Chain A
């Protein structure tokens, strides 16, 4: 009996809360089953920082709020055959995109930073400055969903999607059978 070659999977969390990665772990013992079929390349789960080689599937959590997110996402697009946006932040911008609502301002980004670090009612910031370490990536003018920065092949909706949904999607993708979601899987109520 010939075994199928294992697929290579990479994951990244951009402007997200790591909740979608928690949901991946929430597959419980099915992780063992999944690990029999895939190798995990670049991912916070393996702590591998760079692609070791081209991957079959990339899973992206979170949208793009800074230049590093864009850089990572573009890197994933160039190194993954299939790129999947996991969760609402990756698909729509999600909670971080609330800052896009500051629109009637001449300088929305500065207004956002000021309120977050200087003028907000509950701020105790003894430096009286917004953080500006040279190691910090520059923020983008607004938070972008992944599909505005690169082409995305599939979306797994949810906040966060359940481990079941992520597991089933990956398994059917690997079997070449993924045809989208059943309606009851993606309904809101």
Chain B
């Protein structure tokens, strides 16, 4: 149907747009569920998603423009204004800040002649901050388009900016013969793996396809029994028993089932999946294939966070190799009826998409908003089909369990927390990096290995985990004591606890999807309240206020973000009470010492050009 003629008066989009957008949408069969990919390609081509483009995409995919804009405006890396040819995203994580990011940022600003958050008038550069990009072990770090640079100093920042200005491509910063390098070589030139301790499960020697071969000799229900017997639990942080998850999905009647790998490693301070994706992509895909065999899935998705775009070619290469070797596709390893293939879904910079429901929404081409539970994804997930979502590390574990047996895995670790865990240690320690260790070691033991003995505070599990003080370093890293998705961030005695807390609250304010009001608004209030503490303007009651408001946010949010976002405050209130009480100003005569009348009337004094009759002395007398 032709649009009504009145609309013809609107300025027509440049004709080139139309053709390009048509071909982009056609590449995804005009499927609205592939909206993420359509928008990613659109932005890659035009460097922004223009209103015209949104209009055309809506027409082609059968959606309304506002639905397309809903997706485009949700994700941080989508830009609704024209970006520069080169977009530089500086990692604004607290670890990067402490490692000197502010000076690096100044160097970039000075050399490029633009301020943070700006795009240059010539359209050459955009400069912005972004939360943790998973490179805390080599901070300060930054993304330049799809490549990453690490261990920045003001000098290297100036050099990078100068080279880019002189016309070098971002890829040329990595190597002159970037295109000729294999994907793995490109990744390891950009980023050090920093594997400091390889354990026996994932980072030690791993035989290829041993687990998958074993799985093919078993019935699907036997695979699930084995995974359940191994005691492996979700490694993304929540720790749900993986076997049980699979059983639910397998038992649900459905014509299609889906296996999704959650590689949206967004929790600040976590970078273990980065290393697994770099070094063990085949093991991961093997684990996904086993999961598919167990639950009867035919399609798989690897949801790769946008910050790890530099790893996409590497994973793509592994997928292609496996298709060629008959390890993906039709009749895998010759087993009739065992069909399974995997696509990569890129994320676009949204922490919330690490949440299972939000991740599925994102794969479906929707804004990354969590879904109401129940129904749980194992019964109604991706496009309504039973869906198993597992973390990268979990799926790698599964492949090893099938190879070595459930007992082998079960015997490692402690009661309730079996096997090994990859800890990503960063911050104030000598040897930041990845440590693969059995569950159950103490924080102190890990700090000794990492050379972080003078730590004053350790954040276990990232901002949604727990911040502990020295007196608790003997606590154990298990699901039952200190649970972690892998992040161990070390802070020495010179770091300001309240600055750290305020940063992380700002992070949650930024990353809240906005669906639940207590999370959208409450986190802003919490951040403001912490600001009051930092400025010495907090009353004794403000401590109760922090606890009350935190309880409300936890109680009334529907997903894990809101249920854990007050944790930086709650765990520091419990473990660093003196930090707060030192900043509190008690009232005198029950009149608040924290209310500063002089600063409150200063503006009016200047406007009225006279002194206060009440609060200022009269010097004329």
- Chain A residues in contact with chain B, CB under 8 A? 66-68, 70-71, 74, 77-78, 83, 107, 109-110, 113, 130, 132, 134, 136-142, 144, 148-151
8 A Cβ contacts from B583-621 to A: 587, 589-592, 594-595, 597, 599-605, 607-610, 612-615
Q: Are B603 and A148 in contact (CB under 8 A)?
A: no
Ranked 7 nearest A-B pairs via Cβ: A138-B604, A151-B590, A140-B600, A139-B604, A138-B601, A109-B603, A149-B595
With A and B bound together, what is the CA distance between A130 and B599 in angstroms? 21
Q: Are B592 and A140 in contact (CB under 8 A)?
A: no
Q: How far is the CB of B82 from chain A (nearest CB, A)?
A: 24
Q: A67-B597, A67-B612, A141-B599 are in contact. Are A74 and B591 (CB under 8 A)?
A: yes
Q: Are A109 and B591 in contact (CB under 8 A)?
A: no
Q: Are B607 and A109 in contact (CB under 8 A)?
A: yes
With A and B bound together, what is the CA distance between A141 and B601 in angstroms? 6
Residues of B within 8 A of A107 (CB): 603
Q: Are B615 and A67 in contact (CB under 8 A)?
A: yes
Minimal Cβ-Cβ distance residue in A for B609: A132
With A and B bound together, what is the CA distance between A113 and B608 in angstroms? 11
Minimal Cβ-Cβ distance residue in B for A74: B591
Q: Are B591 and A150 in contact (CB under 8 A)?
A: yes
We find that the number of chain B residues with CB closer than 8 angstroms to chain A is 23
Residues of A within 8 A of B602 (CB): 141
Residues of B within 8 A of A150 (CB): 587, 590-592, 595
Q: Are B610 and A110 in contact (CB under 8 A)?
A: no
Pick 23 A–B contacts, CB within 8 A, sort by A. Answer: A67-B597, A67-B600, A68-B614, A70-B595, A78-B590, A109-B604, A109-B607, A110-B607, A132-B610, A137-B612, A138-B601, A138-B604, A138-B605, A140-B600, A141-B602, A144-B595, A148-B594, A148-B595, A150-B592, A150-B595, A151-B587, A151-B590, A151-B591
Residues of B within 8 A of A141 (CB): 599-604
Q: Are B592 and A149 in contact (CB under 8 A)?
A: yes
Q: Residue among A74, A138, A142, A150 with the most chain B CB within 10 A?
A: A138
Other A-B pairs, 9, CB within 8 Å; known A68-B614, A74-B591, A132-B610: A67-B614, A71-B615, A138-B601, A139-B601, A139-B604, A141-B600, A141-B602, A148-B595, A149-B595
Q: Are A77 and B590 in contact (CB under 8 A)?
A: yes
Q: Are B591 and A77 in contact (CB under 8 A)?
A: yes
Q: Are B607 and A149 in contact (CB under 8 A)?
A: no
Residues of A within 8 A of B599 (CB): 141
Q: Are A70 and B589 in contact (CB under 8 A)?
A: no
With A and B bound together, what is the CA distance between A144 and B592 in angstroms? 12
With A and B bound together, what is the CA distance between A150 and B541 in angstroms? 12
Residues of B within 8 A of A151 (CB): 587, 590-592
Q: A67-B597, A74-B591 are in contact. Are A140 and B604 (CB under 8 A)?
A: yes
Residues of A within 8 A of B610 (CB): 132, 134, 138
Q: Are B614 and A71 in contact (CB under 8 A)?
A: yes
Residues of B within 8 A of A110 (CB): 603, 607
Q: How far is the CB of A91 from chain B (nearest CB, A)?
A: 14
Residues of B within 8 A of A66 (CB): 604
With A and B bound together, what is the CA distance between A138 and B616 in angstroms? 11
Q: Residue among B587, B597, B599, B600 with the most chain A CB within 10 A?
A: B600
Q: How many A-B residue pairs have CB under 8 A?
A: 75
Residues of B within 8 A of A132 (CB): 608-610
Interface of A is mostly: mixed
Q: How far is the CB of A51 from chain B (nearest CB, A)?
A: 14
With A and B bound together, what is the CA distance between A78 and B600 in angstroms? 21
Residues of B within 8 A of A140 (CB): 600-601, 604
Residues of B within 8 A of A70 (CB): 595, 597, 600
Minimal Cβ-Cβ distance residue in B for A138: B604
Residues of A within 8 A of B600 (CB): 67, 70, 140-142, 144
Residues of B within 8 A of A144 (CB): 595, 600
With A and B bound together, what is the CA distance between A150 and B539 in angstroms? 10
Q: Are A137 and B613 in contact (CB under 8 A)?
A: yes
Q: Contacting A113 at CB < 8 Å: which of B590, B591, B607? A: B607
Q: How far is the CB of B7 from chain A (nearest CB, A)?
A: 34
Residues of A within 8 A of B603 (CB): 107, 109-110, 139, 141
With A and B bound together, what is the CA distance between A154 and B603 in angstroms? 31
* B463-495 Cβ-contact flags toward A at 8 Å (1 or 0): 000000000000000000000000000000000
Q: How far is the CB of A101 from chain B (nearest CB, A)?
A: 15
With A and B bound together, what is the CA distance between A73 and B407 in angstroms? 71
Q: How far is the CB of B49 from chain A (nearest CB, A)?
A: 26
Q: Are B597 and A148 in contact (CB under 8 A)?
A: no
Residues of A within 8 A of B589 (CB): 77-78
Residues of B within 8 A of A68 (CB): 614
Q: How far is the CB of A134 from chain B (nearest CB, A)?
A: 6
Q: Are A148 and B607 in contact (CB under 8 A)?
A: no
Residues of B within 8 A of A74 (CB): 591
With A and B bound together, what is the CA distance between A110 and B608 in angstroms? 10
With A and B bound together, what is the CA distance between A18 and B587 in angstroms? 29
Residues of A within 8 A of B604 (CB): 66-67, 109, 138-141
Residues of B within 8 A of A138 (CB): 601, 604-605, 608, 610, 612
With A and B bound together, what is the CA distance between A137 and B613 in angstroms? 8
Residues of B within 8 A of A71 (CB): 614-615
Q: How far is the CB of B158 from chain A (nearest CB, A)?
A: 33
Residues of A within 8 A of B615 (CB): 67, 71
Residues of B within 8 A of A136 (CB): 608
With A and B bound together, what is the CA distance between A77 and B614 in angstroms? 17
Residues of B within 8 A of A149 (CB): 591-592, 595
With A and B bound together, what is the CA distance between A136 and B601 in angstroms? 13
Minimal Cβ-Cβ distance residue in A for B607: A110
Minimal Cβ-Cβ distance residue in B for A142: B600
With A and B bound together, what is the CA distance between A70 and B613 in angstroms? 13
With A and B bound together, what is the CA distance between A150 and B604 in angstroms? 22
Q: A67-B612, A113-B607, A132-B608 are in contact. Are A148 and B592 (CB under 8 A)?
A: yes
With A and B bound together, what is the CA distance between A130 and B435 in angstroms? 67
Q: How far is the CB of B544 from chain A (nearest CB, A)?
A: 12
Residues of B within 8 A of A148 (CB): 592, 594-595
Q: How far is the CB of B209 from chain A (nearest CB, A)?
A: 59
Q: A67-B601, A137-B614, A138-B601 are in contact. Are A78 and B607 (CB under 8 A)?
A: no
With A and B bound together, what is the CA distance between A83 and B592 in angstroms? 14
With A and B bound together, what is the CA distance between A182 and B152 in angstroms? 60
Minimal Cβ-Cβ distance residue in A for B608: A132
* B119-147 Cβ-contact flags toward A at 8 Å (1 or 0): 00000000000000000000000000000
Q: How far is the CB of A108 from chain B (nearest CB, A)?
A: 8
With A and B bound together, what is the CA distance between A138 and B602 in angstroms? 9
With A and B bound together, what is the CA distance between A151 and B589 in angstroms? 9
